Structure formats: C-alpha cells, structure tokens
Amino acid sequence: MIKRVLILCTGNSCRSQMAEGLWRALGEGKWESHSAGSKPSGYVHRLALQAMQERGIDIDSGRSKSVEEFAGQEFDVVVTVCDHAKESCPAFPAAAELLHWPFDDPADAVGSDEQQMEFFRRVRDEIEQRIVRFLKD
C-alpha cells in the first residue's frame, strides 16, 4: 500500500517543493508526496527548480498550492518545514505522524546568484538527509 505525505511551509515556493520532489524520488514508488503552503506564493522559485535539476529531479511541473486544497484528505505523515507553517496550518488529525523539521528559508538568501544558489543547495541537502533518515527507520 502506498503511503501519503504532505509537506507544509508558508509560501510553498522553495522548501516544501524541494521536499516533495525529494520524497517522491527517495520513496521509490512507496510514497505519494504532496506539498502546500499556508500562504502560497503563487510560484515555484527558479533557484529551487535549478537546485533540484542538479539532483536530476524535475519539479518544473509543480505549482504553489494552498493547504486548503488538502483539507479532509488523509495522510500517513504531515511534515512542517518552517515554524510559521507549524503555527498557522490547519490540523490533520487523521495523520499517523506529525513531524516538524524546520529549515532555513532559501527565499531569504541574498547576494549574487551563485551565493543564493549555495543557500538553496545547502537547504536541499539538509532536507534530503532528513528524509533519508526518516525513510530508513
């Protein structure tokens, strides 16, 4: 039976989008991954797309979604990846596991494109490591 995960953040433009793509790839067909935001930005950040392309994971078809789109749905795991989402997102009482994994927001990165890209890569790699650890347990 395929398990379902919902990854939540505020804007659903960077962290949760990267986590959705990583979980899909690392879950090896055993997981259905979704992401959403408490205040969706309306776009997926171009550097998030690029960071994931570097890993061979295509999230180009992703879109910034509201958590409200998933209200009433059942998930095995719901993960918040920022403190604001943890506080502002609706509860998913049917979820078997509620996890909070806060990561820095790469959308806040400043500097040159390369400096910003390094920030995105670091956060992507941190998310990947966390998912790998979770899936091993």
List of residues 6+ apart from 6 with CB closer than 8 A: 34, 35, 36, 70, 73, 75, 77, 78, 79, 92, 95
- Residue 83 has a pLDDT of 74
Q: Determine the structural domain holding residue 65 and report its residue range.
A: 3-136
pTM for the complete prediction?
A: 0.93
- Residue 72 has a pLDDT of 86
Residues in a beta bridge with 5: 33, 77
Sheet with 97-100: strands ordered across: 31-37, 3-9, 77-80, 97-100
User: Residue 112: which CATH number?
Assistant: 3.40.50.2300
- Residue 78 has a pLDDT of 94
Residues in a beta bridge with 99: 79
Q: Which sequence positions are flagged as catalytic?
A: 9, 82, 89
Per the structure, the count of domains in the chain is 1
Per-residue pLDDT of the chain (137 residues), as tens digits, is 999 999 999 899 999 999 999 999 999 999 999 999 989 999 999 999 999 999 999 999 889 999 999 988 999 999 999 876 556 555 676 788 999 999 999 999 999 999 999 999 999 999 999 999 999 98
Q: How far apart are the first and last CA of the chain?
A: 17
Q: What is the 3-state secondary structure (H, E, C) of the chain?
A: CCEEEEEEECCCCCHHHHHHHHHHHHCCCCEEEEEEECCCCCCCCHHHHHHHHHCCCCCCCCCCCEHHHHCCCCCCEEEECCHHHHHHCCCCCCCCEEEECCCCCHHHCCCCHHHHHHHHHHHHHHHHHHHHHHHHC
